[in-house]
Amino acid sequence: MIDLRRLRTEPDAVRAALARRGIDLGALDRIVELDRRQRAVATERDEVRNRIKAISADVGRLHKEGRKDEAGALQAESRALGEQEHALDADADALAADLRAELLVVPNLPADDCPDGASEHDNVVVAVHGYDPDAYADHQRVPHWDIGAELGILDLERGAKLSGSMFVLYRGAGAALVRALVQLALDRNADAFEEVRPPTLVSTQTMISTGHLPKFVDEAYHLERDDLWAIPTAEVPLTSLARDEILDATHLPQRFMAHTSCFRREAGSAGRDTRGLLRVHEFDKVEILAYATPEQAAEVHADLLRRAVGVIADLGLAHRILDLCTGDIGNSSARTFDIEVYAPGADRWLEVSSVSWFSDYQARRANIRYRPAGGKGTEVVHTLNGSALAVPRVWAAIVETYRRPDGKVTVPEVLRPYLGGRELLTAGPSR
């Protein structure tokens, strides 16, 4: 969440930053008023508490002096003040809860160098690699759902039979390709990132910590009986690894990676192209995430982006990097770069990774702090994350890009060691 102290001391700067997102600033007015009232009630409560403590001392002194009548009168006053203190404490807690609820829905302040814009149409294309629209032959202009069905490596019909629409089933070489992509991404980041296998179901607080709740409640799968949520990304559990902890600055940055299944309702996908693997409810992804100090954040962000782009480049896929504008960055993000691959069969650019810097927004929600080396007190850490590799759309781009005139699919060279040296994806068993 945003820094409430900064809103108090620099209200114009906070308003100007959030105005760049094009949002209604009315919530800030409510927050300022709730904050004023909560602090006023808390101050009054504390004054009553101090009066009760002073009376208690006086009652003890009067009893020692044998002045029981005077002590009794003060005790009656103390009881009345105690009831008042209890009521004020309840009011302060209620106002604090309302204040937090308002803060939880206010998005992060965009970074100063985040480009201004109202929507995805204003995103800035930073670089394009390997894309020539005239270089693709007709045999590459076949969509992956047709290729998958022809080779028997993607079974959308049975995926839907098992679980419903937008659930998919990979078969044979298609399933092996999923596994190969995951292992490639893990291996490429094992030099600097600790591998973690977190739970796939997490608590409400864990979802709140990243900003996925309450904002994206309609996009999430909730197990009401146990009050657990299926993770939409490994970012969610990884961010909360150090929740309510104080880290040592000398141990930062800390880096983690995780391969998990991810679950998204895609509740807002009505009217969008949901064919094949373009938009699915469950998918595999390798996530990379870091805790850092503010001073380390820019370098860490650049490193995450280099790593995510590097895997896509080594797969030989045409790709581009977008600097997302203020109107398109995620609710929790201060700065985000998207990586998109070109899928010639679908004839679309497909987002395969978002690499984001969240400043202290998520860590403030999760209460993750660090103790500066040689300094006093604590500071809020910065969190950053990105998709090292999200499988479905990369899978789609590979089978379309590498389709041969005979209908078989050439395996990118970098993946062959993970497929037992296999050079072609064909119909039949994966081996």
Residue among 268, 284, 199, 267 at smallest CA distance from 236: 199
Catalytic position from the list 44, 77, 150, 351: 351
Task: Return d(Cα 349, Cα 427) in angstroms, integer.
Answer: 27
In single-letter form, the type of residue at position 158 comes to: R
How many CB atoms within 10 Å of residue 405? 9
Residue 377 burial (C-beta neighbours within 10 Å; 0-12, 13-18, 19+):
exposed
Catalytic position from the list 354, 356, 387, 430: 354
The tokens for 101 are 């609820």
Q: End-to-end CA distance of the chain: give it in Å, rounded.
A: 50
Residues 396/349, Cβ–Cβ less than 8 Å: no
416 is a catalytic site residue = no
Residue 369, strand partner residues: 246, 380
264 is a catalytic site residue = yes
Catalytic position from the list 21, 171, 255, 264: 264
Task: Return d(Cα 185, Cα 335) in angstroms, integer.
Answer: 23
393 is a catalytic site residue = yes
Phi-psi region of 172 (alpha: psi -120 to 50; beta: other; left: phi over 0): left
431 is a catalytic site residue = no
199 Cβ neighbours under 8 A, 6+ residues apart: 231, 237
10 is a catalytic site residue = no
Catalytic position from the list 275, 279, 371, 416: 279
The tokens for 359 are 């400043």
Catalytic position from the list 369, 393, 403, 422: 393
The residues carrying an active-site annotation are 264, 279, 351, 354, 393
